[in-house]
A and B are shown apart, each in its own frame.
Chain A
């Protein structure tokens, strides 16, 4: 059923499909993956019906295999997301995204007095609560729920 719907959007011969992204997080996920810099075919769908999430977003990228670490960035804002790797129109791999313990250089610290907002340096956050995905700045100690995090 759902396969049919996906195919109705765009048939993907080879590439990556990221499914089950909460609708409100879709465009953050697009930003996290750096999709704006890609030159291959990209299809983005949003507000599609989902039995689990109500509505969901989906990202299909042709001919690109993202590194694991890049895909896992999505876990920050969409822990429910599923990654499908497609070869010759077949799903050859399906897996969840996994939140790393440390997130380097993705999230902007919300504290204006944090050193990371005042020096040319990478931010670094540590996951302190996996249940509601709370992360804490390694430098200034401010914590934020990752769904509210500002992506650099």
Chain B
């Protein structure tokens, strides 16, 4: 077990979050920095992913490190029945850092317990994806100048969307006000509303994606409503377009409003929003590079001398 591992956003404190944001800002200004010279990083993707893997590998390369790994578990020994523990133990012999994505929930936690090499969780099933949360926080921080006292509206699939759950937990330190916009079938689970209640976080729930909600928001965090989440397909057909954002809906929104989306998008944000300066989802994905550079350095215990 290495204490620098990052498995869940709840593993790190408010100070550590703020420290990572400062580091991310530094890397945005100085993206190429040969501080990983001589380091080898493994990217173990037991489940395919494009954006996350490429942004991690770019981050390592821009820091001057080397990458080994795989992007498809079917070409590895795990297809022969090797346990995760054995794969991790073996890879630990070769590298300084393991970045892994797995389709099973809790896989990264377990991996971090069986090795002394630091592990970064790049997503474990529907469970945790802390580097996504860090890039979301960085995007909010960058566009608003602060994380404190913001009104954040979450829209779409609030029941299964792990990104909204992790963001909610991470924002607990910054006195947010949440607006949860979803249909009954996909509303925010009780455990997260309980979490808000226990931590004194204000929230309101809405089934309408109304002008009032939009015009009082600093951040709108859109998520994809997936057809396979519905038991009743008629219900899906009824709600699928209720939570689509169109450019005209932003006419009276705040100047500082920014639209975030973890991507990939399907039809929940109309293409006519893309050219609005308040659309921020592509820059958000770019921020993932800087956030991950900061996280990689923290996991390796590397201090940056600015």
Residues of A within 8 A of B (CB): 111, 113-116, 118-121, 137-143
Contact = CB atoms under 8 A, between A and B. Distances in A.
B176 to A, nearest CB: 22
B202 interface: no
B106 interface: yes
B83 A115 contact: no
Interface residues of B, number: 17
Contacts of A114: 104-106
A139 B125 CA distance: 12
Given A115-B104, A139-B107, 19 more contacts: A111-B105, A113-B103, A113-B104, A113-B105, A113-B125, A114-B106, A115-B102, A115-B124, A116-B106, A116-B110, A119-B85, A121-B85, A121-B110, A137-B106, A139-B109, A139-B110, A140-B105, A141-B106, A141-B128
B215 to A, nearest CB: 35
B105 to A, nearest CB: 4
B106 A140 contact: yes
Interface of B: 83-85, 102-107, 109-110, 124-128, 191
A128 to B, nearest CB: 10
B83 A119 contact: yes
Consensus secondary structure, chain A interface: loop
Contacts of B105: 111, 113-115, 139-142
A101 to B, nearest CB: 17
Contacts of A137: 106
Nearest to A123: B106
A120 B83 contact: yes
B83 A141 contact: no
A111 B103 CA distance: 13
Contacts of A111: 105
A119 B109 contact: no
A118 B105 CA distance: 10
5 contacts: A139-B107, A139-B110, A140-B106, A140-B127, A141-B127
B83 to A, nearest CB: 6
Contacts of B106: 114-116, 137-141
Contacts of A118: 104
A121 B110 CA distance: 9
Contacts of B128: 141
Contact of B110 (A115, A141, A143): A115
B104 A138 contact: no
A113 B103 CA distance: 8
A138 B104 CA distance: 14
A143 B192 CA distance: 13
A138 B147 CA distance: 29
Given A114-B104, A139-B105, A140-B105, A119 B110 contact: yes
